[in-house]
Chain A
C-alpha cells in the first residue's frame, strides 16, 4: 500500500465537486434566501458531517486491497437486496415512497448502496472469461440486475431503477460478451420499454415523458423554473439587482436540482466547471480501467463509472430541460448522506484499483531495467501473493 500511488487527479475532481455542493447548499441556506426557506443551516452542518464520515470511511477502505471486496461481493449484494425487500414490507412511507430506513436523525437509502454491491457482484461473476461465453453467463447477471430494478421500481423510485440495466450492458460489453448476445439483450430492452411504459408507469410519470415527444406540451413548473434559473445565470452568474430576492422556488432544489443553483450563481463558467470536473473524473476512471490487468478490477471501475456517468447525464439533463424528471441525485454535489457515502465508497474503490494495478509486462523487463515505475520496487513476495490467488 503506497499512498504515493494515489491518483490525485481523481481525488481532486471528487473533492472539488463536493465543494461545489457545499457552496450551493450555503447559497440555499443563506438567511437572505426566502425562496427555499426549507433548506437551513442544519442541512449544511449535516452535509459537512456526512462528508467527514464518508472521507474517513473512504480513507480506511484504501488499505485493504480491493480484491478483498471480491470475497464479500455476493454477501453484500444479498444484504442490500434483503434490505430492499425488508423496506417494501416494513418500511415507513416518506413522501409516498418506501425508500428510506430511518435511523434517528439520519435515514439510509439502501438503493444507493445497492449500486456498489451490484457492480461488485456482477464483476465477480464476469471476472472469469469463460463465464461470459456460455448462455448461463448471461442469465445470472441479468438476474442480478433484474432484482434491484424491480425492488427499486416498486418503491417507487423510477430514476434509480432504470440505471441498473444499462450498467449491466456496459459491464457485459467490457467483460467481452459476444456482440450477438449483447444485441439480443438490447432488443429485449427495446421490447420491455413500451410494455413498462404502458403498464408499469403511472399516469403522471407518463405525462413527464410525453413532454419530450410533444414539443407543444409545457414542461413542468419545476423544470420551467429550473430553466429560468439556469438562464438567469448567464455567463458569469446572476447579477443581483437592488431588492431582488432569491427567486426560484424549486422543490428538491438541494437534492435533485442542485445543478441549477450552481448554474444560477456561477453562470456558464460554474456549470461548465462542474461538467468539466465530471469529464475529467470519467476520463481518469476510463484510464484506470484501461490499464488494469485484473478483469475484476476493470469491471468494478467501469461499472461504477457508468453508474455515475448515467446519473450525471440524467440529472444535469433534467436541470437544463433535456431529460425528464426522475428524481436522481447529482453525484458528489447533491445533498444527501447515502448518496454522498456511496460516491465516496466508489471513489475509494476506484482509487484502490488504481493503487494496485500492475503493468502487464513481464517481471523480466523490470529486473533488467527496461522498465521502471516510480515508487515501485519489484518485490518477490508481492508477485507471489498475486499468483497464488
Chain B
C-alpha cells in the first residue's frame, strides 16, 4: 500500500508542472511580447515621502515639507548638445563655472563608483552610470523647471524632479524646540543588546530604524542597494538631529517609496513607475505658541546686562497646572533652514561657535548648558525648612549683615553691596529681600539631607523628563559627591550657591509646583499625557512662600520692586548667581508666575552674565508678563 502512495505523490508532483507548461505555451507561443520596450533606459530611485508637519497650539505651521524642484541630469544625453551647460547657467541665473563645477562633481562621482571594481566591469558600469540621472542642483526656480521640462531638445538629459525640502517658516523663533534635520551620515548605530554591535551599512541602519516601509527590502536587489548607496542616495535621506524633530520622529517621519524612471532616449519621453508607494508622516501638534515665542524672541533680543552690554537671554513660559510649555527660546538662536540642503558652509561654521554664544545649544534644557542658580534656590530651602517643621513662617532671625565673623563668605549681600543689614526678618520678608543671613540660620536647623531630598523632589539634580533630546540633569552637590564637605559649603548651598547648577527647565518645574499648589509636573512641548504628581506640600506653607514671592514684586523692599513688574499682577523670585567671585560676575535669574493669586503662567528668565537678577532679568520678565496679559483668556 505504501508503494502506491509513493506513486500518487510522484504524480501529484508532476501534474503542476504540466500546468506551468501550459501557461508557458500561452505566454511564449500564443502571446509573445514585442521587444519594443527594449530601448528604454531604466533607473531605480527612491520616491520621497513628506515628513509630517510640526504645528503650534493654534495650528500654525512651524515646520513642513515644501515642494522643491530638483534638477537631475543624464550626462550622456547632455553631452549631445555642447552649448547646453551655458544655456542652463543662463536659465538658472548662475555663473557658468558653478554649473561646470557641478557637472564635474557628477563625473567625479561616476569615477568614484567604478573604484575597486574589476577592470572588466568598468566599461559596463561607466556606460550605465552615464545614463543615470544624477542630481545637479537642488531647489531651482519654478520658471526654470517649466522651461527645462518643456524644452527637452534644448536641455537634453535634464530631468526635473519634484523633491521635498523641509522648511521652517518661523526661522530662528523656536528653533531649539523644533530642532532640525541632517543628512543620514549623521545617523548613529541603533541600540543593540549585544555587547558588540553588528556592523551595519547605512541602508541597514536606516532599515532597522524604520525609515522604509515594510517590504521595501524585498523589492530591491541586494546589489541595487549597494548601487544606490554608492550613488549616495541613502546619504541624502534626512534624519532628525535634535529637538521635536528627533523626539517625535517616529510619528513625523515619512517612508520613502521606490520607483523606476523609464526614459526613451530617442524621444526624451519619461515615465515614472511606482514600485512602492511613499507613505507620508503624521503631523505633530505642540503646546507652544509661535506668535508668543516670536514676541518673546523680540524681547530677549534687547537683553542688556548691568554693564549695558547685550547679553544672551533665555526665557520659558509654561502652564503651571499641566507643565505644557507655551514658549521657550533664547536670544542665541539659529535658523534651522540653514541645515537643509543646499546648505552654505559659512552658516554652519558660524553656528558652531559664533563668538562663544553657541547658538545651537538649547539653553533651556540641554546638558552642558547648566548654570548656577543663586537665590531662587531659597524657595527650595524654605519648602524644606517649613515642611519638616524646623521653623514656622513667623519665626524671625536677625540679619547683622555678617553671619559669621570667621567665615567672610557668609556675608549678606546687602553688606557686600551697601554695608547695610536687614535686621529682624521672618520668612516672607527674607524672601522679599533675599536675605542670606536668614537662610544661613536655617542651615543651623535644617539637616542637609532634608534639603537635598526636597531639592530632588522639586526637580533639581535630576532630569525633568521634558520631551526634548539630551536633557541635562544639572548638579546638586552633597557631602556624598563632595567628600571634603565643610560647614561653609552647607551655608553656600542653602542660598543656592556652592556648585549647584541647573537648567532653566528644572527651575520652571520647581516654580510650576509652587504656582499650582504643590504638584510636580513634567514640562513638555509635545502631545501626550503628563499627569502632575502631588508632592505633599502643606497649603499653609505654600501660602507663606507665595506671600514672600508676592512681596518680592510688590513689597516696598522687594528685590524686583523697582521694575515694571510691580505694575503687573505677578509674583516671583530674583536670583543673582555668582559664577566668578573675582570679577563679581553673576547670572541674572527671575522665576515667577502670573497672575499672583491664581497663576496661569509660570515664567523663567535667565540672562547669562547679566549681573543682578532684579535689574536685568526681572525687567524682561515684566515685559513678557505684560505680553501674556494681552493674550486672550484661557491660554
Residues 1 to 20 of chain B near chain A (Cβ within 8 Å): 1-3, 5-11, 13-14, 16-17, 19-20
Q: Given A38-B224, A230-B28, A275-B21, is A302 in contact with B128 using a C-beta cutoff of 8 Å?
A: no
Q: Given A37-B125, A93-B208, A232-B32, is A245 in contact with B6 using a C-beta cutoff of 8 Å?
A: no
Query: Scoring A residues 25 to 52 as 1 if CB is less than 8 Å from chain B, else 0, what string do you get?
Result: 0000001111101111110000000000
Residues 124 to 146 of chain B near chain A (Cβ within 8 Å): 124-125, 127-128, 131
Is A176 an interface residue, CB under 8 A from the partner?
yes
Stretch at the interface among A78-86, A147-155, A310-318, A339-347: A310-318
Is A112 an interface residue, CB under 8 A from the partner?
no
| CA of A150 to CA of B240, assembled, Å | 36
**CB contact between A37 and one of B24, B124, B218 (< 8 Å): that residue:** B124
Whether B10 lies near A245 (C-beta < 8 A) is no
Whether B2 lies near A174 (C-beta < 8 A) is yes
Is A285 an interface residue, CB under 8 A from the partner?
yes
Stretch at the interface among B34-42, B151-159, B550-558: B34-42
| CA of A285 to CA of B13, assembled, Å | 11
| CA of A228 to CA of B7, assembled, Å | 37
| CA of A325 to CA of B224, assembled, Å | 18
Size range of the chain A interface in the assembly: 35 or more
Whether A251 lies near B17 (C-beta < 8 A) is no
Whether B2 lies near A295 (C-beta < 8 A) is yes
Is B408 an interface residue, CB under 8 A from the partner?
no
Is A349 an interface residue, CB under 8 A from the partner?
no
Is B121 an interface residue, CB under 8 A from the partner?
yes
Residues 278 to 335 of chain A near chain B (Cβ within 8 Å): 278-279, 282-283, 285-287, 289-290, 295, 298, 302, 305-306, 309, 312-313, 316-317, 320, 322, 325, 327
**CB contact between A289 and one of B6, B14, B127 (< 8 Å): that residue:** B6
Q: Which residues of B contact A278 (CB under 8 A)?
A: 17
| CA of A92 to CA of B223, assembled, Å | 17
Q: Which residues of B contact A94 (CB under 8 A)?
A: 204, 222
Q: Closest B-chain residue to A282, C-beta based?
A: B13
Whether B124 lies near A90 (C-beta < 8 A) is no
Whether B33 lies near A228 (C-beta < 8 A) is yes
Query: Scoring B residues 241 to 261 as 1 if CB is less than 8 Å from chain A, else 0, what string do you get?
Result: 000000000000000000010
Query: Scoring A residues 83 to 102 as 1 if CB is less than 8 Å from chain B, else 0, what string do you get?
Result: 00000001011111100000
Smallest CB–CB gap between B156 and chain A, Å? 18
Q: Given A174-B6, A267-B28, is A35 in contact with B215 using a C-beta cutoff of 8 Å?
A: no
Whether B218 lies near A41 (C-beta < 8 A) is no
Is A197 an interface residue, CB under 8 A from the partner?
no
Is A9 an interface residue, CB under 8 A from the partner?
no
Whether B219 lies near A251 (C-beta < 8 A) is yes
| CA of A91 to CA of B112, assembled, Å | 31
**CB contact between A235 and one of B28, B37, B42, B200 (< 8 Å): that residue:** B28
**Tally of contacts, chain A with chain B, CB under 8 A:** 203
Is B221 an interface residue, CB under 8 A from the partner?
yes
Is A137 an interface residue, CB under 8 A from the partner?
no
Q: Closest A-chain residue to B266, C-beta based?
A: A243
Whether B9 lies near A39 (C-beta < 8 A) is no
Smallest CB–CB gap between A161 and chain B, Å? 14
| CA of A278 to CA of B253, assembled, Å | 48
Q: Given A176-B5, A247-B40, A286-B13, is A220 in contact with B275 using a C-beta cutoff of 8 Å?
A: yes
Q: Which residues of A contact B23 (CB under 8 A)?
A: 320, 322
Is A185 an interface residue, CB under 8 A from the partner?
no
Is A382 an interface residue, CB under 8 A from the partner?
no
Q: Which residues of B contact A204 (CB under 8 A)?
A: 213-215, 218, 276
Q: Which residues of B contact A220 (CB under 8 A)?
A: 219, 275
Q: Given A33-B124, A170-B9, is A316 in contact with B35 using a C-beta cutoff of 8 Å?
A: no
Residues 170 to 225 of chain B near chain A (Cβ within 8 Å): 194, 198-200, 204, 207-208, 213-225
**CB contact between B34 and one of A173, A176, A232 (< 8 Å): that residue:** A232
Is A238 an interface residue, CB under 8 A from the partner?
yes
Is A175 an interface residue, CB under 8 A from the partner?
yes
Is B495 an interface residue, CB under 8 A from the partner?
no
Q: Which residues of B contact A316 (CB under 8 A)?
A: 20
Task: Give the residue among A96, A205, A268 with the most B Cβ atoms within 10 A.
Answer: A96
Whether B207 lies near A37 (C-beta < 8 A) is no
Is A244 an interface residue, CB under 8 A from the partner?
yes
Size range of the chain B interface in the assembly: 35 or more
| CA of A232 to CA of B29, assembled, Å | 10
Smallest CB–CB gap between A255 and chain B, Å? 9
| CA of A286 to CA of B117, assembled, Å | 47
Is B484 an interface residue, CB under 8 A from the partner?
no
Is B226 an interface residue, CB under 8 A from the partner?
yes
| CA of A230 to CA of B200, assembled, Å | 36
Is A180 an interface residue, CB under 8 A from the partner?
no
Task: Give the residue among B28, B44, B275 with the most A Cβ atoms within 10 A.
Answer: B28
Is B100 an interface residue, CB under 8 A from the partner?
no
**CB contact between B20 and one of A34, A203, A207, A275 (< 8 Å): that residue:** A275
| CA of A39 to CA of B11, assembled, Å | 37
| CA of A54 to CA of B271, assembled, Å | 45
Q: Which residues of B contact A41 (CB under 8 A)?
A: 118, 120-121
Q: Closest A-chain residue to B28, C-beta based?
A: A268
Smallest CB–CB gap between B62 and chain A, Å? 31
Q: Closest A-chain residue to B39, C-beta based?
A: A244
Q: Which residues of A contact B10 (CB under 8 A)?
A: 282-283, 285-287, 289-290, 305
Is B147 an interface residue, CB under 8 A from the partner?
no
Is B27 an interface residue, CB under 8 A from the partner?
yes
Is B31 an interface residue, CB under 8 A from the partner?
yes
Q: Which residues of A contact B9 (CB under 8 A)?
A: 170, 173-174, 286, 302, 306
Whether A306 lies near B13 (C-beta < 8 A) is yes
| CA of A194 to CA of B25, assembled, Å | 33
Q: Which residues of B contact A286 (CB under 8 A)?
A: 6-7, 9-11, 13
Q: Given A204-B214, A245-B39, A249-B44, is A93 in contact with B204 using a C-beta cutoff of 8 Å?
A: yes
Is B123 an interface residue, CB under 8 A from the partner?
yes
Is B227 an interface residue, CB under 8 A from the partner?
yes
Smallest CB–CB gap between B231 and chain A, Å? 12
Q: Which residues of A contact B3 (CB under 8 A)?
A: 290
Is B91 an interface residue, CB under 8 A from the partner?
no
| CA of A325 to CA of B276, assembled, Å | 15
Q: Which residues of B contact A244 (CB under 8 A)?
A: 35, 38-39
Q: Could you write out 5 A-B pairs with CB less than 8 Å apart?
A: A31-B121, A34-B131, A92-B200, A290-B10, A295-B2
Given contacts A38-B221, A174-B2, A230-B28, 10 further A-B pairs with CB under 8 A are A38-B226, A232-B32, A247-B38, A247-B42, A263-B24, A268-B24, A286-B10, A290-B7, A312-B17, A320-B24
Q: Give residues in B with beta carbon < 8 Å to A.
A: 1-3, 5-11, 13-14, 16-17, 19-21, 23-25, 27-29, 31-35, 37-40, 42, 44, 117-118, 120-121, 123-125, 127-128, 131, 194, 198-200, 204, 207-208, 213-227, 260, 273-276
